[in-house]
Amino acid sequence: MSHRFIPSRREFFASSLAVGTVALAGRNAFAEELTKTPSQTKGPFYPDKLPLDSDNDLIVVNDGITPAVGDITHLTGKVTGPDGKSLPGLMVEIWQCDAKGVYLHTADSGQKKDQQDKHFQGFGRCLTARSGGYYFRTIQPVPYPGRTPHIHVAVKRGKKELLVTQLYIAGHAHNEKDFVWLGVKDKKQRDSITVEFAKLKDSKIGELAATFDIILGKTPEVD
């Protein structure tokens, strides 16, 4: 597993968590109003063979110097229980197709070897911090035939899967035609998985930032 360190990433992570902590502090007073993150299909393309590099930076594989194609996105968020309390030590996983619509799964990439972006990791993991926060550097998801842009997300404690869901781009025209997005009938829950991908201020390469807070239906038991 690669252990790359990007100073600007650490600064971004710290500042994002600080903002998230303040926001959640206000929400904790109304914990009963927290909208639980809905469960969604895992889909057929969870990697059937996990990459050797499965850290939280999906833009560069191992120690490569060529970045993945796509709009770089800093994805942050917090994982909390239904009472709004932060949940540290949980594993957050994400997986998504590359900018050409190819997943890191032999059923997909095996048939599209010439299209696949070999510089995109396709899958990543991040342990939640004491604050419950997590961070990924990835690309903005893209549509492919039959699906609106989305990122798959799983939360685990050890080998136990606590939640599998997907996150979407707010305002994307394909959302209203996507059967998985439309499958979440509760508007508050659907809104909770539909997030803004905003331009990162002062970024010279057009980076984006997105925040996806995950609220579990119940606080997981400590093993």
CATH of the domain at 11: 2.60.130.10
Domain assignment of residue 2, yes or no:
no
Domain assignment of residue 37, yes or no:
yes
Mean of pLDDT values over 150-174: 97
Domain assignment of residue 221, yes or no:
no
pLDDT at 19: 47
CA quadruple 164, 170, 176, 178: dihedral, nearest 10: -30
Domain assignment of residue 97, yes or no:
yes
Mean of pLDDT values over 172-193: 98
pLDDT at 53: 83
Task: Report how many domains make up the chain.
Answer: 1
**Residue 7 pLDDT class (50, 70, 90 cuts):** very low
CA distances from 107 to 44, 51, 139 (A): 9, 15, 22
Q: Tens digits of per-residue pLDDT, 17-75?
A: 444 544 444 444 444 569 999 999 999 999 998 877 889 999 999 888 899 999 999 99
Instruction: Say how many residues make up the chain.
Output: 223
Domain assignment of residue 144, yes or no:
yes
Which range of residues forms the domain containing residue 16?
A: 7-215
Burial class (CB in 10 A: 0-12, 13-18, 19+), 50: middle
